[in-house]
Amino acid sequence: MNRVYIKTYGCQMNERDSEAVAAMLRARGYAIVSHEDEADVVLLNTCSVRDQAEQKAIGKAGQMIKLKRKRPHLLVGIMGCMAQNRGRELLDRLPDLDLLVGTQKFHHVPDHLENIVSAIQAHGPRPSTIVDLEEEAGSQNTIRPHLEGAEDEKKVSAFVSIMQGCNMQCAYCIVPTTRGEERCRPIAAIVEEVVELAARGAKEITLLGQIVNSYGRREVPFVGKISPFVQLLEAVHAVDGVERIRFTSPHPRGFKEDLIEAFGRLPKLGSYVHLPLQSGSDSILKAMNRPYTQEAFRRIVASLRQVVPGLYLSTDIIVGFPGETDEDFEATRAFFEEMAFDQGFIFKYSVRPGTTAAPLGDPIAKEIKEARNQVLLDLLEKQSLRRHTALIGQVEMVLVEAPARRGEGLYMGRTAGYRKVLFPGRERLIGALVPVKITEASASHMMGQLEVSE
Ligand code: SAH
Ligand code: SF4
Ligand code: F3S
């Protein structure tokens, strides 16, 4: 009963939480396997941000529960955002679920599994579903550094959760419900985790939170004009062995002078920023309850580009928010082009019951959403290709992450602007920063050759 398969839906925060659960389980002697067929326990770490994400996970859970007919000892659990958001209601559809664990309870998963197994061993019949969804004060500190038991997982690039929850109320968004109140981990605990990760070979650290630049707003005092988030960046920057630092997601509202200025003096921040725009139309931004305007966004990006020449900019956009007219969308399209985003995540609006936008329904036709989505995807492809093509012949410092998924002898790494580069390399270059001359470009990545003989 000790082989566990964890399937993760949703954002990097979920990836990170799944890693933490895996590490806790390994420390208790479980084996983490990479396929459900080999597993005694299947855990789905779920997302609620769009309806499709929920449907996928419900479908998968249904399939897994059906498998129990053939494999009666199989245990199936749902963790994370959808467990938190839908709660016991999920049991109406999935009564044979063994475990339902919310976003503040990941650290209880090993105990719950042990309890289920010993109950089965003691009495035979399966106990009823264990449901653990309550809020828990201090839960941001309970997910221990994800390192114990993870000897085999030496990663060049590691995620570090710096906070949980969100206190904003973007009209469309379910995350404040699924993740609860905003609360942060102390700087010292985060740095301790980063030091351990660096000792294990991590070179790139991605700091995760729903709005990272509101980190520590209530708990940590400013030092002069330096906000708690920038203090954290400074502390992580000082860790030996860390070569690059990224963070996701910041909010345009909190993207203040001290953070912009930090890019000028903390070289490990590189030249990549993900800054969610959501819409380029002021009236839609207002309806979304996003407290900034197109002009404010433009100003932030202009200041960033002054400090970071050659900035690579990424964003999130929602198309088809209720009330989005052709003119609103045109404002988004034109601004998307003006900002010349290098990367973007374009989402079709999905009504989330319980959000403040839910009563507005979903008046924009599916075809219109689809068309708007495509317009932005096409633009993105053009912009990305243009930017990559301009690098042909230049030498970029590439952090080598892993063998490429395809291509014998090819390795994958990223530039300081977080662009993907494939090049012929060697196993021992993994984790190194190497100069690569760019030879070919596509919208998704570039090809290159090592510049010096190693
Ligand atoms: N905290 C992050 C976003 C987390 S959710 C931030 O504020 O940037 C990730 C992205 O999903 C959001 O940026 C948004 O673009 C998208 N999203 C959130 N709710 C959505 C919904 N109801 N429909 C479609 N996309 C949505
Ligand atoms: Fe959702 Fe807005 Fe919070 Fe991001 S800032 S998680 S979009 S409510
Ligand atoms: Fe989804 Fe939860 Fe992340 S709703 S986007 S997995 S915070």
Q: How many domains does the chain have?
A: 4
Report, in angstroms and rounded to the nearest whole number, the Rg of the chain calculated over CA atoms: 23
In a domain, 330, yes or no: yes
Provide the CATH number for the domain around residue 427.
2.40.50.140
If you measure from the C-alpha of residue 379 to the centroid of ligand 3, how many angstroms do you get, rounded to a whole number?
26
d(CA 234, CA 187): 10
CA 166 – ligand 2 centroid, Å: 6
Task: State the Cα–Cα distance between residues 431 and 154, nearest whole angstrom.
Answer: 10
Cα separation of 323 and 407, whole Å? 47
Ligand 1 centroid–CA 210 distance in Å is 10
**For position 282, what pLDDT does the model report?**
98
Report the nearest-CA residue for atom 1 of ligand 3.
47
Evaluate whether residue 188 is within a structural domain: yes
Of the residues 76, 99, 132, which one is the last residue of a structural domain?
A: 132
Please tell me if the CB atom of residue 248 comes closer than 6 angstroms to any atom of ligand 1: no
Pair of tokens at residue 160: 């570090």
CATH of the domain at 57: 3.40.50.12160
Q: Say what the pLDDT of residue 363 is.
A: 98
pLDDT for position 150: 53
* Residue located nearest, by CA, to atom 2 of ligand 2: 170
Is 247 a pocket residue for ligand 1 (Cβ < 6 Å)? Answer: no
Same domain, 254 and 316: no
Most informative mutation of 253, 319, 347 for ligand 1 (most atoms within 8 A of CB):
347
Sort 202 into a burial class: Cβ within 10 Å, 0-12 / 13-18 / 19+. Answer: buried
Quote the pTM value: 0.94
Assess contact for 204 and 246: CB atoms under 8 A: yes
pLDDT of residue 412: 97
Atom of ligand 3 nearest to the CA of 9: 6
- Does 289 map to a domain? no
Q: Which numbered ligand comes closest to the C-alpha of 355?
A: 1
304 and 372 in a common domain: yes
Rounded to whole angstroms, how far apart are CA atoms 190 and 362?
A: 41
**Which of 210, 251, 318, 324 is the best mutation target for the ligand 1 pocket, counting ligand atoms within 8 Å of the beta carbon and taking the most?**
318
315 C-alpha to center of ligand 2: Å?
14
**Residue 436's pLDDT is what?**
98
Residues 107 and 214 in one domain: no
Tell me if 226 sits within 8 A of 237, measured CB to CB: no
Give 430 Cα–ligand 2 centroid separation in angstroms. Answer: 35
Q: Residue 12's domain spans which residues?
A: 3-132
Ligand 2 pocket, residue 352 CB under 6 Å: no
Q: Which residues does ligand 3 sit against, CB inside 6 Å?
A: 10-11, 13-14, 47-49, 81, 175, 178-179
* Nearest ligand for residue 171 CA: 2
Same domain flag for 334 and 264: no
Amino acid 54: pLDDT = 96
From the CA of 167, give the closest atom in ligand 2.
3
Residue 171 CA to ligand 2 centre (angstroms): 9
Ligand 1 mutation target, pool 15, 173, 210, most atoms within 8 A of CB: 173
Say how far apart CA 135 and CA 196 lie, in whole Å.
Answer: 29
Same domain? For 117 and 9 the reply is yes
Q: Any idea what the CATH number is for the domain that residue 249 is in?
A: 3.30.750.210
Examine the domain organization and report whether 177 and 264 are in the same domain. Answer: yes
Q: Is the CB of 175 under 6 A from ligand 2?
A: yes
Residue 327 lies in a domain: yes
Q: Please tell me the distance between residue 317's alpha carbon and the centre of ligand 1 in angstroms.
A: 8
Q: Do 62 and 16 reside in the same domain of the chain?
A: yes
Dig out the tokens for 144 from the structure. Answer: 């221990």
Contact assessment for residue 43 and residue 4, using Cβ atoms and an 8 Å cutoff: yes
* Cα 14 to averaged position of ligand 3 atoms, centre (Å): 7
Whether the CB-CB separation of 21 and 109 falls below 8 Å is answered with yes
Which of 270, 291, 316 marks a domain boundary? Answer: 270
Q: Is the CB of 281 under 6 A from ligand 1?
A: no
Q: How far apart are CA 427 and CA 302, in angstroms?
A: 40
**pLDDT, mean of each 10-residue run, the chain (454 residues):** 94 92 93 95 97 96 93 94 95 94 94 88 78 85 59 78 94 96 95 94 96 92 95 98 96 94 96 98 98 97 96 98 98 98 97 97 98 98 97 97 91 97 96 97 97 69
Q: What is the pLDDT of residue 320?
A: 98
Indicate if 305 and 375 belong to the same structural domain: yes
- The rounded distance, in Å, linking the Cα atoms of 178 and 104 is 9
Q: Which of 98, 132, 166 is the last residue of a domain?
A: 132
User: Both 110 and 212 in a single domain?
Assistant: no
3-state secondary structure the chain: CCEEEEEECCCHHHHHHHHHHHHHHHHCCCEEECCHHHCCEEEEEECCCCHHHHHHHHHHHHHHHHHCCCCCCCEEEEEEHHHHHHCCHHHHHCCCCCEEECCCCHHHHHHHHHHHHHHHHHHCCCCCCEEECCCCCCHHHCCCCCCCCCCCCCCCEEEEECEECCCCCCCCCCHHHHHCCCEECCHHHHHHHHHHHHHCCCCEEEEECCCHHHCCCCCCCCECCECHHHHHHHHHHCCCCCCEEEEECCCHHHCCHHHHHHHHHCHHHCCEEECCCECCCHHHHHHCCCCCCHHHHHHHHHHHHHHCCCCEEEEEEEECCCCCCHHHHHHHHHHHHHHCCCEEEEEECCCCCCCCCHHHCCCCCHHHHHHHHHHHHHHHHHHHHHHHHCCCCCEEEEEEEEECCCCCCEEEEECCCCCEEEEECCHHHCCCEEEEEEEEECCCCEEEEECCCC
CB distance 210 to ligand 1 below 6 Å: yes
Q: What angle do CA 277, 283, 286 make, to 5 degrees?
A: 70
- The answer to the question of residue 148 being in a domain is no
Question: In Å, how far from its chain's centre is CA 107?
Answer: 19
By the 10 Å C-beta count (0-12 exposed, 13-18 middle, 19+ buried), 134 is classed as exposed
- Phi and psi based region of residue 79 (left: phi greater than 0; alpha: psi -120 to 50; beta: remaining): beta
Ligand 2 pocket check for 53: Cβ under 6 Å: no
How far apart, in whole angstroms, are the C-alpha atoms of residue 390 and residue 438? 10
Pair (183, 93) in one structural domain: no
Which two three-digit tokens encode residue 54? 């929920």
My answer on whether 128 and 15 are in the same domain is yes
Asked, for residue 169, whether it belongs to a domain, the answer is yes
Ligand 1 neighbourhood includes 316 CB (under 6 angstroms)? yes
Residue 45: inside a domain, yes or no?
yes
Assigned domain for 284 exists: no
Same domain membership, residue 424 and residue 311? no
